[in-house]
Structure 1
Amino acid sequence: MALLMGLVLAVFVVGLSLIIRVYVVVKAGSKCRPGTEGSVAVLAVAGSGGHTTEILRLMECLSAAYTPRHYVLADTDKMSEDKIHNFEGSKQHSDSQFIIHRIPRSREVQQSWSSSVISTLKALWYSVPLVFRLRPDVVLCNGPGTCVPLCAAGLLLGILGMKKVLIVYVESICRVHNLSMTGKILYTISDYFFVQWSSLKDKYPKSIFLGRIV
């Protein structure tokens, strides 16, 4: 009972603090005006290991109109930044319009679900001001827990009538019969939800199946 009351209090405090932070961001005005007419500002969520490899394969398919490109990764992710720099540097007509941002990780591997509530709230604390400042047109993600607070922030931006942010989720190719926990959370709020196995399409009718796309 005491733990539940503590969690409720934590949610209330974080929620109130976020409202204040959002008000400050909106009041000050966004200094970052991503994109110009005809361009699409994209926020791609990287995750350690295979998640980053898959998200970069998706980014490789995007045209030059997707600029600037904002990559967000967990502050404990030590490998993804090098992969992103190598990817962007290898592009033939790279205009260097990409920025890497870091936020706290929502949930570490094998972290307990009770403690992950607190860490997710911490990640949300950083995600909301970041998304409200960048105001991306698209949030592109493929499974790391880090994308949950970022997608929630993008959804909030639309709920407040400030900007419609498209949430595009591509389930990892390793998910054949069941969605990841992140996928289950984002299935209901994403605008486009892609799966890479027909067995998942049968279970989740809202999803889009185009075969293997990464």
Structure 2
Amino acid sequence: MTVLLGTVVAVVLISVLFIIRLFIVVKTGWKHKAGSRGSVAALVVAGSGGHTTEILRLMESLSAAYTPRHYVIADTDRMSEEKICSFESSKQHSDSESQFTIYRIPRSREVHQSWTSSVLSTLTALCYSLPLVFRLRPDMVLCNGPGTCVPLCVAGLLLGILGMKKVLIVYVESICRVETLSLTGKILYFISDYFFVQWSSLRDKYPKSIFLGRIV
């Protein structure tokens, strides 16, 4: 009964947020404003393994204007923090003012976790994501597929719905997704501001998506 109730709450919440977002975009529109001195505060969601590798490759192409950088990883991820620190250490050679922080939140869904129990774990992750995003108030949330990014993007969306700050949601589908979107991609396709795919076959199936070739 608890699992069923959690599922209904999650579906209703996502539906309401999606409808409100469509209303705001259609009726008023949004214009993104960068942070002070042209800087863009970025909240970067790193998954584990290949997701972290891909997101860091993407970060290599971003200018020094994307600062501070707030990385978020799952609390059970034991490898990403070291990769992020190594990446930022190398970046500091060319950017003496490099600023980054790393935060941990509960994982939305573990590998092979049942769909019913993942609803509850996602709601738990959302409870951690809301105060974090509301405190950091990033200009952009950048992610590429890990389930951990869903509650963070929802929190960023809510920040805009409440009129506190517009947060751009930028999603880059993993390069390993050739014919179909990941579950995370299927969810964020509807709420992201920019949705990038890396195969033309996906661009043809999802008209909102942006195809620029291989970007990671």
Bin of the TM-score, shorter chain as denominator length: 0.7 to 0.9
CA RMSD after TM alignment: 2.0
User: Which residue in the other structure is 1:75 paired with?
Assistant: 75
Aligned to 1:98: 100
Specify which of 123, 126, 129 is matched with residue 125 of structure 2: 123
CA distance in 2, matches of 1:9, 1:57: 36
- How do 1:5-44 residues align onto structure 2 when only pairs under 5 Å count? 5=5, 36-44=36-44
Shift of the alpha carbon at 1:38? 1.2
- Alignment-derived partner of residue 116 in structure 2: 114
Alignment partners' CA distance in 2, 1:5 and 1:45: 28
Contact 2:42-2:68 within 8 A present in 1 as well: yes
Report what 1:138 is aligned to.
Answer: 140
Cα displacement (A) at 1:44: 0.4
- For structure 2, the residue ranges without an aligned partner over 5 or more in a row are 13-33
Pair 165,175 (structure 1): closer, same or farther in 2 beyond 3 Å: same
Separation of aligned partners in 1, 2:192 and 2:7: 27
Q: Which residue of 1 aligns with 2:189?
A: 187
Partners of 1:40 and 1:138 within 8 A in 2: yes
Q: Is the 8 A contact 2:108 2:118 kept in 1?
A: yes
Report the Cα distance in structure 1 between the residues aligned to 2:4 and 2:193, rounded to whole angstroms: 33
What does residue 51 of structure 1 align with?
A: 51
Query: Would the alpha carbon gap of residues 177 and 37 (structure 1) be closer, same or farther in structure 2, given more than 3 Å must change?
Result: same
SS in 2 for 1:107: coil
Q: CA deviation at 1:93?
A: 2.0
User: Could you state the TM-score of these two structures normalised by the residue count of structure 2?
Assistant: 0.85
Do the aligned partners of residues 102 and 198 (structure 1) sit closer, same or farther apart at CA in structure 2, a change above 3 Å counting? same
| Code of the aligned partner of 1:151 | C
The change in CA–CA distance for 1:203 and 1:112 in structure 2 (over 3 A counts) is same
Amino acid at match of 1:64: A
Asked if 2 retains the 8 angstrom alpha-carbon contact of 1:35 and 1:67, the reply is no
Deviation at 1:95, TM superposition (A): 2.4
TM-score by length of 1: 0.85
1:210 partner letter: L
Structure 1 residues 115 and 94: alpha-carbon distance in aligned structure 2, compared to 1, 3 A threshold: farther
CA distance in structure 2 between the partners assigned to 1:172 and 1:7 by the alignment: 27
Identity %: 81
Q: CA deviation at 1:96?
A: 3.6
Q: Within 2, Cα distance between the matches of 1:52 and 1:155? A: 23
Q: Is the contact between residue 141 and residue 167 of structure 2 (CA under 8 Å) also seen in structure 1?
A: yes
CA distances 1:69-121 after superposition (whole Å, capped 9, x unpaired): 00000000000000000000011324240000000000000000000011000
Q: Name the SS of the counterpart of 2:38 in structure 1.
A: coil
Out of 109, 127, 151, the position equivalent to 1:149 is 151
Flag structure 1 segments of 5+ consecutive residues without an equivalent.
Answer: 13-33
Structure 2 letter corresponding to 1:165:
V
